Every structure is written in C-alpha cells, then in structure tokens.
Structure 1
Amino acid sequence: MKYQQRKKALVLLADGTIFYGKSVGIDGSATGEICFNTGMTGYQEIFTDPSYFGQLMVTTNAHIGNYGVNDLEVESDSIKISGLICRNFSFTHSRVDSDSNLFDWFKKHNLVAISDVDTRALVSYIRDNGAMNAIISTDVDNIDELKKQLAAVPSMEGLELASKVSTKEPYFIGDENAPIKISALDIGIKKNILRNLSKRGAYIKVFPYNSNFADLESFNPDGYFISNGPGDPEPLKEAIELAKEIIKRDLPLFGICLGHQVIALANGISTYKMHNGHRGINHPIKNLLTGKGEITSQNHGFAINREETEANQNVEITHIHLNDNTVAGIRLKNKNVFSVQYHPEASPGPNDSVYLFDQFIEILGKNKEVSSTL
C-alpha cells in the first residue's frame, strides 16, 4: 500500500485531547482503554495476549510489522487488542519464516490500526495523565459523534472481562501419561504458560473462568493454577472463592498476573487500578528470597495493596518491582501457594523468571510423593 493512499486518522482521548495520524488501510473506529507497551519485539504475542482485551495498544518501538507474522507465535486463537496505534507501520517484511505480512493479518481480523502518530508525545501524555478510555478512527470529520461513542465506553475499573476471553468448555494440554496433573483456571490464559507447564512433564486440564472447586477437583490434580487475564480482578467472585477453597484445603496453587491478584483478594488483600500500569519486557524485579534481580515481561493495569500485604501475617512478599516498589510476588507462609504479578512464560523473552515453573513442578512432585505414602 502506498503512503499517499492512506486516509487521515486520529486518536481521541477521554479528556478531549486529539493526536492525528494515518490509517493503515482498514476504515472504522475502535474503542478501549489506551495503554502502551515498551517492548522492542514480540508485537504478535502482544496483540494476541488475552490480558489486553478491551485495550487500545500504543507501541513505543518505532517500527511495527517489519518481521511479519508467524502462525505459531500467538498467545491465543485471535487478536485480543481493540486497536493499534504506532509510529511506523511496515507493509513489507523481511523474515524468512514469516507466514504473511502484518497488514493482511489485521485485515483478516478486521482490526483498526493507525500509524504516523507521534507516539513519543502520546506515551508521555499517558504517563503524565494516566490510562484513560480512547477511540481511534478514520472518521476524522465527525468529532462530536466520536465523543458520543467514547462516552459510552465503560471504565476498566470494576470491569469483568475474563468471561470474554475464557474457554467455553474444558480442554486438555500435554501428554495424558505425564507424571504431574494440573487443573488450570482460564481467566485469560496465554498459550505459552501451558507450553511451559506441559514441557516440564505436566498434563493440564483447562477450565472456564466460572468453574468451582468441585469442577477442578474432578480432574484429581496434583496442583492448581490460576492464569493471567484482562480487566479488574475484584468482580471475579467465583475465582476468588475457588482460590479460598484451594488454600483452605492446603493444596498447591500458583497464580500469574490476574491470578496473583485473585490469590491476594482471597487473602483479604485489596487491589487498585494503577496510574498507567506496567507493560513491556524490560521491567526490573528483585527476588527478596535470593537477593537477585530479574528482567521481566509485564502486562497489568492493577496491583495489590502493599501495606495490606505487609500487615497480613499469613503472607510474605517475595518479589518487588524496582521502579515503583509495588508488590510483584507473594507466597503464603506454611503453604504451597505462591504467585507473581509478572509473566515468567515471557515470549519472546526475557527468560529470567522461568524458574518459577520449575519451582511449581517441584512442589507438585514432592506433594505427590508425600500423598502416595499416606
């Protein structure tokens, strides 16, 4: 597609601020909470991450699309972002193992995307003013109508989105003869989480977001997992009750991102909406148990209350985010329950935190050995 053929487009923020750009060639409008990701690579994984459902993505890397798309490099069965805002959109790509270009992939999924936006200025504005709802559109001459559409978009705070991305029916991942069995609650699970568990000798049954303890227990698992996902954790009452039941029965439990927040809520620790969240693949974490630093992949707009976590006698903070000292990991004292706010399954990387999967599998193996002797 030639540059001069592209239509004008815009980003309209909830506070009335407008940034102009050009359409990549798909007409229409898209709404959602605007956020930004600082990763230099991995755009296809970002676009298919269920945790981004309902969000307009601003990519800070200047070039998007230059290495095309590969059908295997996805975190779910479809694009999950509401729309894309970038600086330079590449209609051609130069990677040998690409299956297609990014434009054709967007066209297939009817995703509205705009480029030629001053993303440095836009990201700076979001950093200063916080995440807010926005609309992107090629209908640049009808601002009043766009404002009406934007006003109807619900706030991310208090919004339950797990039901929009969760599986409708249970399914299995891995080798059914694997030594370890895990029941996983899907509240927006990424495929690479399941890959990391299965390649470590686990057979996983994945359950819908509103499943109860009896549902997950029916698989007779060695342990339980609560996934990442989009939206506010507080409306996830079924998931919180499930976590409470697993903890009450003293069973192994691991949670990532939204799952981490659910486990915190199950222990009476509240969550809050962050000013603009953490999204990228270069976030520094300190492991308080080892004293070591980890560079991590993150994607969350909510966090757990640090003061309440420190005051909870049953909970220990295991990881902190070094940029703002928010809680990045917890574990329950005297129980095999732990969680992290970031993504140890990071794809395309970094891989500093994959040891957490090893740790979980080791716990399940030891627990199984103890159970077999009783």
Structure 2
Amino acid sequence: MSKPAKLALEDGAVFTGVSIGSDGEVDGEVCFNTSMTGYQEILTDPSYRGQIVTMTYPQIGNYGVNDGDLESERPHLSGFIVREHSRADSNFRSEGSLSDYLKEWGVVAIESIDTRALVRRIRSQGALRGVLSTIDLDDVSLVAKAKASPGLVGRDLVREVMPEMACEWQESCSEWTHLNVEGIRKSTETTGPHVVALDYGMKWNIPRHLYDQGCQVTVLPGTATAEDVLAQNPDGVFLSNGPGDPEPLEYAIKTIQGVMKQKPIFGICLGHQLLSLACGAKTFKLKFGHRGANHPVQRLSDGLVEITSQNHGFAVDEVSLPASLEVTHRSLNDNTIEGVRHRELPLFSVQYHPEASAGPHDSHYLFQDFLKAMAK
C-alpha cells in the first residue's frame, strides 16, 4: 500500500506525493540534477551531504542498483525526489531495486510530485531549504521546519563524510588497507608516482583513475596537516571533491598552503575551491548550482569545448582571483570559472569532475597533466 509523503519549502510551497524509501523526516537544501542516468552514483556521492536531490529526468530506477556503481560505502544525501520510480529494474547488472536500496540505507524519498514545477521554482528563486517527511503531513508545521533548516552556508560538512584514518587504495572500492599508526606506506602492485589524496568526501572513481594511471594512492582525512602529508613523502597531492561551503574549512586551506610550494597539486570540485582560497581568492554561493552530466565547459588554451559532469553549489569569485592564478576553463552556461592554474607553481584544479562517473570522458587528459607535473 502506498504511503503518503510531503515536501515543504521555505517559501511556503508544499508538494504531496508517495514514499518510495524509508519512513522518516529530513531537512536540507533542495537542489536538482539533470542527469538521465547515474542515480546510484548521485546517491552515494558524499558531496550531496545536507541536500535533498531532485532528479529532473522523469523516470528513475529502471536499471536497478548494483555494488559496482557505488561512489562511497553508502548514500550521503538527506533525501531523494523523483517524478516516477520504476518498479521494474531491467538490466543484466542489476542486483536489486532502487526502492529496496533506499529503504536499506534509511533514505527518505518521494515520487509522484511535479518535479518540473519544483525545478522551475528553484531556478527562479534559487536554492531553497526544505523538509521531506512521511511522519508529519501538516503543511504549516512542515513549512516552519523548512524555514528553520540551517542550509549550507557557513557549515563544515566535510567532517561528516571524510574517513577517520589513512587508507591505501588498492584495486577497487572494497579494497582499502589501513595504514599502521606511524603512517608508513605499504607496498602496492603499482610502481608509479605516489599520490596523497586529501579526502574531503571523495568519490571512489577518482582514486580508481589515479590507480589506473599507475599511481600509488594514499588517502588521508581532509583534516590532515601539511606535516601529515609531507610525512608520506608523496610525489604529488590530490584535493578531492566534497560537500558544502569551502570557506569555513580553514584547516584544509592551511594544509594546502603548507604544501603548495613543495609538491604538485591537482584539485577537483571542492578541491578546486580550496586551492583557489589557499592562493588568496574568495568563493560565493551560486543561485541554484551546477549538477548534471552534460555541462559545456570551454578550455581557454585552444577553445575546445568539453562536455562535463558537475556537482557544486559554490564557485570561485573571479573578481577576487589573485594575479598568481590564471583561468584555464570557463562554463559556457553562466561564464563562471571552471578551472585555474598557478602561473609559477605546478598547481591546477577544475570545478567539474573529469573522473566522469557517470558522465562524459572528455576531460580524462587532466589526470595525464597531473602525471606530467609529478614527473618534473
């Protein structure tokens, strides 16, 4: 039997639908993702911490779920919204239904609401705080709770999703080897450059790509100090994606400043914002963010347009960009900065996701650029 659920927004709008996940009540910033596929990668992307994600594609769940498409151990978003949830998961790789997966991990989710109307509201007004509930169905109560939701600005969400201890990446998402107390790096099958990846909520496909390029990858929590990083004697440092507002992460900025003159650095998404902050720039909150698998970005060096996968609600403020940084990539949707490079040091970053799971492969060359930087 279908169970009713409601989504209430801080502006007073209420959407009534049907629960397809766990019973409960969650709050967060309501955002939308325009990807046609990749819902399991979205569910398990730690960058969605604190957000209720709306899928704009009308039917979600038609190819089920499987362990091979995880981007972390579990879902991290606050809630999930779809127009229609497919009851039939038709795919040879499917290991279960989306609804069962949502219930297994306690994700509150809703279907049968007008997602087009919801997205139009967000695009017009900007990101809105909301509450998704199956237990409180009173409109007035839910709207009041939505207004009281803390939102994302000024919050440190990285501490909620980053690993607690150092790990050595092996061959797959399930093969992590904990380092010993002294942090001595264990030998691996690869003999390439050693990369220390600072994990602020890192998607698993990033260390997969580094490993496939022949790198030895040591993952440190995002709170690691510059001394912790340098003690691993890396050839290069990677700054991962992660959730929320970058400006409160003073510990991460300090660490980057402590290693940026000593090691090559490559950053993605939140890592891009943190590298820019460490160099003296500022960031700002986008009206409704960039989230999808088909965002056009222009590479300024030759004018090439890359189709990219994106997930971010903050961006680097171009007015504040220091002279030491040059813009390398730019969004063709709103002209915001999508990549920077230091003019003197081997430091570069992009706002989008070149590891591209699930998305285009246009930007894989960035991993090669990182390898070249470490080889010098």
Normalising by the smaller structure, the TM-score range is: over 0.9
Shift of 1:46: 0.5
Provide the residue aligned with 1:116 in structure 2. 112
The answer for the alignment partner of 1:343 in structure 2 is 353
Matches within 5 A, 1:88-167: 88-139=84-135, 141-167=137-163
User: How far apart, in 1, do the equivalents of 2:229 and 2:136 lie?
Assistant: 50
Letter in 1 for 2:240: S
After superposition, the C-alpha distances for 1:150-169 in whole angstroms (9 at most, x for unaligned) are 34421211111000000000
Q: Aligned to 1:205, which of 218, 221, 224? A: 218
Contact 2:10–2:144 (Cα < 8 Å) also in 1: no
Residue 140 of structure 1 deviates from its aligned partner by: 5.5
Partner of 1:258: 270
Deviation at 1:58, TM superposition (A): 0.2
Which of 25, 30, 34 is the equivalent residue of 2:26?
30
Which residue of structure 1 aligns with residue 331 of structure 2? Answer: 321
Q: 1:273 matched to which residue of 2?
A: 285
Residue among 47, 51, 59 paired with 2:47: 51
Deviation, 1:31, is: 1.1
SS in 2 for 1:351: coil
Aligned residue in 2 for 1:371 = none
Where 1:207 maps in the other structure, the secondary structure is: strand
Alpha-carbon shift at residue 132 of structure 1 (Å): 1.6
User: Of 308, 328, 336, which residue of structure 2 is paired with 1:296?
Assistant: 308
**Aligned partners of 1:260 and 1:340 also within 8 Å:** yes
* One-letter identity of the residue aligned with 1:334: E
One-letter identity of the residue aligned with 2:26: A
Q: Quick one: which amino acid aligns to residue 194 of structure 2? A: K
1:222 matched to 2:232: no
Q: How much does 1:272 deviate?
A: 0.5
Normalising to structure 1: TM-score of the pair? 0.93
After TM superposition, where is structure 1 displaced by more than 6 Å over at least 4 residues in a row? Answer: none
Aligned CA distance change for structure 1 residues 25 and 321 (closer, same or farther; 3 Å): closer
RMSD over aligned Cα atoms: 1.2
% identical equivalent positions: 46
Q: Counterparts of 2:136 and 2:58 in 1: how far apart (Å)?
A: 24
Deviation by residue 1:188-237 (Cα, 9 ceiling, x = unmatched): 10100000000001011111111101101111100101100001000111
CA distance in 1, matches of 2:307, 2:76: 25
Q: Say whether the 8 Å CA contact 1:7–1:25 is kept in structure 2.
A: no
What is the TM-score when the length of structure 2 is the normalising length? 0.93
- Please tell me whether the aligned partners of residues 198 and 224 of structure 2 are also in contact (alpha carbons under 8 angstroms): yes
Residue 184 (str. 1) matches residue 197 (str. 2): yes
1:85-104 CA distances to partner (integer Å, 9 max, x unpaired)?
A: 11000122110111111111
Shift of 1:148: 4.2
Equivalent pair of 1:63/1:89 in contact (CA under 8 Å): yes
| CA distance in 1 between partners of 2:133 and 2:142 (Å) | 8
Aligned residue pairs total 359
SS where residue 220 of structure 1 aligns?
coil
Are 1:352 and 2:362 an aligned pair? yes
AA at the equivalent of 2:299: N
Q: State the SS of the aligned residue for 1:136.
A: strand
Deviations 1:257-281 (CA, angstroms, capped at 9, x unpaired):
0000001111111000110000000
Unaligned runs of 5+ in 1: 368-374
Deviation at 1:176, TM superposition (A): 5.1
Q: What is the rounded CA distance, in whole Å, between the counterparts of 2:21 and 2:50 in structure 1?
A: 21
